[in-house]
Structure 1
Amino acid sequence: MNPEATPLPPSKGLPLHVKVMIGFLLGGLIGLLVNWQQMQNTDLVLGLTTYLAKPFGQIFLNLLFMLVVPLMFSALVLGVAELGDIASLGRLGWKTLIYTAVVTGIAVAIGLLMVNLIQPGHHLDPQLIEQAMAQYATKATDITTKGQELNFIELLINIVPHNVIAAAVDDKQKLGVVFFALMFGIGLVMTPSPATAAFKQVLQGIFEVCMKLIAMVIRLAPYAVACFMFTLCATLGLDALKGLFFFVATVLIALALHMFVVLPVWVRTMGGMSPRVFFRGSQEAILTAFATASSAATLPVTLRVAEENLNLPRKVSRFVLTVGASANHHGTALFEGITVLFLAQVSGLHLPLTQQVMVLGLCILGGIGTAGIPSGSLPVIAMICGIIGLKPEGIAIILGVNTFLDMCRTSLNVTGDLATAVVVSHRTRETETAVLG
């Protein structure tokens, strides 16, 4: 809990995460019922979806995105400033970077292993391929164009923004905002004066105002989640999942292995925290991530549960989670690896081990460069396909189930961010104790 912020009064009635779960279940069940009864194209359902569910859900997302940039900037600058010296920032940064790379690599390796074992691309009906390619041809072309515009050198260059205002506006350049905030925080540490101390208090005020507004917005989460799930299940139903059953199953199994096996072991052994305590404290952020399919939109909730539920030191959690929302995407990297190999199997292209290792490395880098917004990984997948000689247009095959899988992988992204924060916090405390001892 932030001692400088005014604590919110305890809410009456059901806890927010329980309300979110109820909205999730009700919206999903009603949507599936509508789809099962083939009512999704009736005037009533189309009216509800077009004029109520979609607008309400989008307004909820917009309210969160509206506050992300000032929250991200103030949280990261304050996190750096509270470390007190550049050496501490360097140690924290290197730990975060190394843990992110290693655990993201494990996630991608799990995905590649599952896709080699299950071989989902060999279980696909050729008629479904033709149907998907025709149905999503225009959208696939747009994604392919965006993928061709990307390259890893450009992503690296854009980390240092030439115009921080433009970077704040462009979702693909959020890492530029992170870099600017890091530099600003370093400057604040290196310039101790009454003026900079006063400016730090201004940033603290901005952070507290953002968190207060977010606490108000997040009360709408149960209703927004119900709208998201209703729209998804009413339009998608189970037919699309059946057609791509082996692909969906491969992704879900790999995500589940990383989320419920790798991360709990990592949190227990490296973070010194019980997995039960970790998941109980993180569940609100995980559900919000599933509903919004956006790590950036979930950041306000992630910061709050880290401090209030997991009791992580704010100087560490603010740094790790703010950077993580832009660069630490376990689920996205895993999904990118599975999708690339799946499309290779569909096209009959056999990738030897050396090329699969290259895909693993590209997915780790791609996970860092992926925008933390819904479907932000698709242009990166198209780029990787182009690098290894696959036709990026083949991405049309998975677009029918992408929305659902995007929600699932974003949940893992946010869980991975919180797990990283737990581990870095624990290792930092151990280091500080050893130094003091």
Structure 2
Amino acid sequence: MKVLVIGRGGREHAIVWKLSQSPRVTKVYCAPGNAGTAIDGENVNLDITEFDKLVRFAKKEQIGLTVVGPEEPLTQGLVDAFQKEGLRIFGPNRSAARIEGSKVFSKQLMRHADVPTAEFKIFDHPEPAKYWVDTREYPVVVKADGLAAGKGVIVCNTGEEAKRAIDRVMIHEEFGGKAGRQIVIEKRLEGEELSVLALVSGRAILPLPGSQDHKAALDGDKGPNTGGMGAYCPATKATPELMSKIESEVFVPVVHGMKRARYPFSGLMYAGIMLTNQGPRVLEFNARFGDPETQPLMIRLKSDLLDLLEAVVDEKLGDLTEDQVVWDPRPAVCVVMAAGGYPGKYENGKPIAGLDEAAKLPDVKVFHAGTKREDNRVVTDGGRVLGVTALGDTLADARKRAYEAVAKISFKGAHYRTDIGDKGLKG
């Protein structure tokens, strides 16, 4: 079978790499891909928003399954376009992808499904929002309603910070005018974050091992939010008891509620969870594989990824049992190497050295994110450049190995967090 993966980041490279290992896959294409997907598959020079061209390519090449990586084409209806033409595709349709595409929709869904989340209020004008902030006696988080590449969430310590955040989103339109037409302001939750990804098909739910992302740009969770600076899996806090609680109190009510409301979810549902003193609370839902959580998940997955994706698409997920999904018992750590200036302005085109040396280390895989090949060399082509991922007998071993690989790689302006996995080591 030929498979097409849509996207160009580290998540897509991990998916391409894993699918290429399936005995049933003859070829993996990636559109548009990066320098890493060109090694483990074959890149196709098509943009993720060129729906007609992607459909034509899938038909011409007789693609047996298409897998959508990023959120943008999902929320714009790529799955709908493929299904209309009778093409098999993994991911939610446009209606179901609103769970990520609209913070307002997601929050209202949680309220109706009685899913534990932070106290919140929705606004479509800045002045009432500022007035409401003044009446709160606790720190808040201001969220742009629409997609903002993981950066439309502003954590505020004071009322003045919150008012500035409201202006940034609604008046200055920093994250795009459409994304800021409405905002959600919610009580800031305290605790550790947990990422729980689950395969979902209709009412069937198959949770994957919990992982922990690191969203802040700097060590110690300091600095601005990013798309994710690293992750490790399995998360130490993700005990079987907690995972069972999250499945029953988060995924079941949301998945069943979407089914009842006639926009059933099919694909990968991601719940960002804050572990508070009052129990787990949902921060957000995503409608696709997380990045960088996918990288440590894929390096640990021993089962055939194609089997899992097809079970979702063919509505046979309920026939799979958790013991049919085999994981390497060893933990994995992914460290993101980012471009200088990220998540702010940065320059592309910086040559990357040391990739071959890092790849020679045992149980290490360097997943490419913002890279491209130019004049027979690999150069930077994005904010998050690489996801250096390693397995180890213990979390400490995996962490040490990942940073050994990071030390062999260099490009001008490279920066990364040095504390990925530290929370897990503390228990």
TM bin, normalised by shorter chain, reads: under 0.3
After TM superposition, the score normalised by the length of structure 1 is 0.25
Q: Which has the higher contact order (CA 8 A, sep 6+)?
A: 1
- Per residue, is there more strand in 1 or in 2? 2
Q: Tell me which protein shows more helix as a share of its residues.
A: 1
- State which structure, 1 or 2, has the greater radius of gyration over its C-alpha atoms: 1
- TM-score, scaled relative to structure 2: 0.25
